């Protein structure tokens, strides 16, 4: 059997891979640049979990190649360590250690010493989560509660404002998860992230571009009052259906000011069924906390006029192919995929289970709320309106 020739990439080629990867291009597209299979590119990127390693550079305090060549020449001329140090404006101890670790006065060679110094500098730096195991334990516990690394980092600063030993960036947490060589966090914790992929992806990798059907007599979200747009007043919600397998779905609702989440069990995508479920749910909240609803262009809200007549709640619709116009709801649907992965039959979940998942989300701190929880903000709103 003929053995396949091993593929080697130059540093310049690797740099191009990382540049394209950070721009969000696929492995297959990057591999085509080198006329290779995507697996050969994946092997390079997977070594560091899809996170580009920092470019190596020499310390400004380290001896340079020119200085080492000067050491080599002056040693050959028989100069003393003190005179060499004075000529290079270095401490004699620095010159002495340099010579001893690289063959002594008789065996010292500048180029060889310089290469050895570069090789010795390649050592992994212990990250904060390795040095502080209690901090790593706290981070692991929050990850198991489906908190994102950014939420954990923000909460730690709020919980321990005067103790920097308990401060860690979300980037450090991500790197500790995706780069297992660090030995800080177990690989099993990856399954608690919102997206359980083996390598970290660029935020530019994918964008939702689903097209939806047309609905009659819609009112565009651009016609919403200014108080709705700037989130100054509570009681304005965003909604959509989260779909699963076997034509199952649940309705997801997010309050724009507090990011409070509510989930509604619906039997089907039929507009009459969805409208009935939302009408029953609307009765659970006072009118002051449910004034408007912004929905996607899904045909499940074709019966929106009957919903408005029954509840006195105005319905606004996003523009076609503009799901980011209800960004809070889009973000929440992404969070919900941790609990309801794609392909899950959502019809098996009871309303009680949906309420439990919503409560879990509402008790997670949010960066946009200065790391308070949606539940805290929503209950404050209820108290103020009561």
Place of tokens 């489906």: 146
Q: What is the dihedral of CA 337, 343, 344, 345, to 10 degrees?
A: 140
pTM score, two decimals?
0.53
Give every CB contact of residue 241 below 8 A, 6+ residues apart in sequence: 249, 250, 251, 252, 266, 269, 274, 298, 300
**For residue 197, how many other CB atoms are within 10 A of its CB?**
11
Q: Which residues on adjacent β-strands are paired with residue 240?
A: 252
SS3 labels along 2-17: CCCCCCCCCHHHHHHH
Q: What is the pLDDT of residue 132?
A: 87
Look at residues 25, 28, 30, 27 and name the one whose alpha carbon lies nearest to residue 13: 30
The arrangement of secondary structure in 221-385, i.e. its CATH architecture, is 2-Layer Sandwich (3.30)
Q: Rounded to an integer, what distance in angstroms lies between the CA atom of residue 211 and that of residue 279?
A: 26
| Cα–Cα nearest to 267, from 254, 255, 280, 285 | 280
Query: Residues for the chain: how many in total?
Result: 386
Alpha helices, DSSP H, located in the chain? 11-22, 27-32, 38-46, 65-76, 81-88, 92-100, 104-107, 110-120, 128-131, 133-144, 149-159, 170-178, 226-229, 271-282, 304-311, 327-336, 351-362, 374-385
pLDDT for residue 220: 87
Angle subtended at Cα 326 by Cα 322 and Cα 331, rounded to the nearest 5 degrees: 105
Q: Which pLDDT score is estimated for 182?
A: 67
Assess contact for 242 and 250: CB atoms under 8 A: yes
Q: What pLDDT does residue 60 have?
A: 84
pLDDT at 44: 82
CA-CA distance, 271 to 218, in Å (whole number)?
A: 14
pLDDT of residue 210: 43
pLDDT digits (tens, 9 = 90+) for 209-225: 343 346 788 888 888 88
Token look-up 């990382």 returns 18
Which pLDDT belongs to residue 336? Answer: 95
- What's residue 124's pLDDT? 60
pLDDT of residue 338: 93
pLDDT score at 5? 60
**For 303-373, where are the alpha helices, taking DSSP H only?**
304-311, 327-336, 351-362
Per-residue DSSP letters for 195-250? S--SSPPPTTS----------TT--BGGGS-HHHHTT-SS-EEEEEEEE-STT-EE
pLDDT value, residue 22: 83
pLDDT of residue 1: 46
User: Quick one: pLDDT at residue 216?
Assistant: 82
Given a cut of 50, the residues of the chain with pLDDT beneath it are 1, 207-213
- C-alpha radius of gyration, the chain, whole number: 30
């Amino acid at each position: 059997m003929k053995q396949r020739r091993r593929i080697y990439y130059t540093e310049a080629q690797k740099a191009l891979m990382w540049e394209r990867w950070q721009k969000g291009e696929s492995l297959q597209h990057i591999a085509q640049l080198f006329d290779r299979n995507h697996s050969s590119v994946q092997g390079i990127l997977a070594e560091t979990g899809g996170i580009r390693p920092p470019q190596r550079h020499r310390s400004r305090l380290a001896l340079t190649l020119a200085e080492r060549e000067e050491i080599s020449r002056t040693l050959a001329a028989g100069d003393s360590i003190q005179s060499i140090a004075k000529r290079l404006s270095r401490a004699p101890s620095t010159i002495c250690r340099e010579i001893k670790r690289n063959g002594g006065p008789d065996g010292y060679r500048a180029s060889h010493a310089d290469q050895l110094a570069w090789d010795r500098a390649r050592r992994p730096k212990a990250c904060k989560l390795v040095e502080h195991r209690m901090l790593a334990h706290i981070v692991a516990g929050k990850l198991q509660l489906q908190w994102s690394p950014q939420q954990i980092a923000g909460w730690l600063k709020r919980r321990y404002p005067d103790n920097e030993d308990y401060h860690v960036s979300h980037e450090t947490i991500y790197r500790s998860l995706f780069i297992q060589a660090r030995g800080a966090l177990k690989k099993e914790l990856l399954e608690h992230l919102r997206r359980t992929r083996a390598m970290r992806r660029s935020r530019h990798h994918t964008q939702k571009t689903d097209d939806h059907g047309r609905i009659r007599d819609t009112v565009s979200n651009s016609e919403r009052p200014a108080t709705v747009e700037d989130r100054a007043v509570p009681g304005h919600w965003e909604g959509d259906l989260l779909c699963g397998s076997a034509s199952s779905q649940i309705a997801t609702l997010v309050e724009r000011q507090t990011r409070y989440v509510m989930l509604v069990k619906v039997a089907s995508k039929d507009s009459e069924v969805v409208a009935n479920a939302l009408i029953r749910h609307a009765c659970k909240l006072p009118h002051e906390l449910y004034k408007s609803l912004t929905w996607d262009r899904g045909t499940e809200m074709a019966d929106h006029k009957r919903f408005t007549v029954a509840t006195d709640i105005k319905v606004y619709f996003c523009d076609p192919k503009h799901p980011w116009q209800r960004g809070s709801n889009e973000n929440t649907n992404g969070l919900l995929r941790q609990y309801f992965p794609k392909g899950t039959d959502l019809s098996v979940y009871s309303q009680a289970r949906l309420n439990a998942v919503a409560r879990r989300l509402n008790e997670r701190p949010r960066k946009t709320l200065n790391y308070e929880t949606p539940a805290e903000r929503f209950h404050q709103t209820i108290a103020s309106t009561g």
